Amino acid sequence: MPLWPFSRSVKAVPLEAEELRRQLVDVATTKSAAHLRRFCKAYQDQIARHAQALRKLPEPVLTDEQEANRFMQGLSMAADCLQNHLGDGRLWNVLVGDPEQNPITRWQSFIDEIPGRMEQLEHDELIAEIGPFLDETQRLRGHGARQYEAFLRGRLGDVLFHSGNVQEAKASMESALELCREIGDRDGVRVYLNNLIEIARYQGDQQAAIQRSEQLLEVLRMAGDSQSLERTNRQLRLLKAGEPRCRIVCRYNEQTFELDEIPSGAYGEFHFEFVRNRPTLQLTTALTNRGVAKASNGESADAHEMFQRAADVDPLDPHPVYQDGVVLMEMGLFAAARDAFERVEELAPGWFRCRSGRWLAQQLEAGVWPEEVMRLLRVLDHGGLAKEEANQVAKSATEKYPTFAAFWLHLGDSLRATDEVEAEAAYREGLKHAEEPDVESRIMCALAGILPAGSAERVDLVRRSQSLEGSLLAQAVASVLHEP
């Protein structure tokens, strides 16, 4: 009597191609993976000998889409089993054929190229090229063709969306979603529902975003994906409450928290990130990054042009406008820079340092401060200086311009690690001269951070910094320093 575990061998008998194909598909689609491996091993030589005939579906099957899908799935499973478990790729090679002639291979190769080509700003070319591939999928039958039609429609939606053609992207994503529902592709349904939520958020269509989120929640419940459920529920609550145009979130212990969700008593490293109520378009980001690279090389005029192109693609994104404001300051075009920072404030109130940038542009335009102040501040803000060097530059700046508050903030920051007493004195001096809420709130938080926990002054500084229309980042830090 055999002892468990045991295996039942499959004894091969000579079969005609048609019968071999029928049995192979039946085993692949109705039996276990182990049974399929035994069948493939027993019939390995016959399968290889009849491979060309096996790939041709019987006439009755060609007119039955469901049965055609089953046959193609079964043959693919068998070919995969032979190749990966028995090292025999003969059936696989026959099914795949010449890569140049196999449509699925060509479709997948094209899909794989899309991200890299988007980075090269080839959005218009990609949109034109996807059309013929979609036409080809529609001429073919079977599950594989429908699956790739959904993939291609989804990728077309991606390219359209990230190049600023949002309404067209929505239609393409909706088509991809319906295809995935028809063929039972649950992963695809999740992907395209997520994409449609982002499109609705971009368009400011709160109700559509809520509706799609509720549909996604139902799919996630059926899949038992608790982590995605929690994330989507959090997003849905924000949508229903009305997302702020700009806010700060906190990354702590590899999790993202809204500021009022940060665990009580949390201690360690906190990372704060700016978040908008709209997704960012890839083409705008790529153009903005190119503009930043040009600005770093001193090519201000070319950088300005690149930021303008980025803003044309997505007029709702504050970041290219913000970077343009910085470059316009460097070019001495202070009125234009002020207008740029004002536009940033309209799009995303408190985005990075747009408020202090706007104030400084106004001051420079009016001749209150010389341009050297801007250049010194630029070095301290973005020069990547070592602490000692930053200390020397900030100290020199405070000596030459003792009433410019931001220089005292930088001096305090450069002293903080080595001399808290001197750092505190620098912050206090800066606070005396603060005329603008962004810098004032940053100094308040810096000073509060080195005062004793629970002290009345620290509590007052935190409260005051939160009440100002100042730095969002300072307000985020204040939320961590806050002691109930």
182: CATH:
1.25.40.10
Tokens 């002290």 appear where?
A: 455
Question: pLDDT for 126-184, tens place per residue?
Answer: 999 999 999 988 887 777 788 899 999 999 999 999 999 999 999 999 999 999 999 88
Q: Single out the residue of 366, 316, 351, 357 nearest to residue 338, CA to CA.
A: 357
Angle between helix 371-382 and helix 354-366 axes, rounded to 10 deg:
160
Residues 341 and 462 occupy one common structural domain:
yes
Note whether 51 and 167 are same-domain residues.
no
Average pLDDT taken over every residue of the chain: 91
Residue 258 lies in a domain: no
Is 267 part of any domain? Answer: no
Beta strands 255-258 and 246-252 are: antiparallel
Range of the structural domain that residue 188 is part of: 116-243
In a domain, 12, yes or no: no
**Is 334 found in the same domain as 233?**
no
Max mean pLDDT range (10-19, 246-255, 428-437): 428-437
DSSP of 175-215, one letter per residue?
A: HHHHHHHHHT-HHHHHHHHHHHHHHHHHHT-HHHHHHHHHH
Classify residue 257: in a domain, yes or no: no
Residues 322 and 450 in one domain: yes
Q: Which of 61, 96, 131 is the last residue of a domain?
A: 96
Residue 11 inside a domain? The answer is: no
Question: Band of the pLDDT at 33, cuts 50, 70, 90?
Answer: confident
3-state helix, strand, coil in the chain (%, to 5): 70, 5, 25
- Residue 230's nearest CA partner among 206, 244, 213 is 213
Q: Please check whether residues 426 and 353 belong to one and the same domain.
A: yes
Are residues 411 and 310 both part of a single domain? yes
Asked whether residue 312 is domain-assigned, the answer is yes
**Please, which residues have CB within 8 angstroms of residue 385's CB and are 6 or more apart in sequence?**
379, 393
Same domain, yes or no: 72 and 178: no
Q: How many domains would you assign to the chain?
A: 3
Q: Is residue 104 one of the residues assigned to a domain?
A: no
Residue 7 forms part of a structural domain: no
Domain shared by 87 and 182, yes or no: no
> How much is the pTM?
0.80
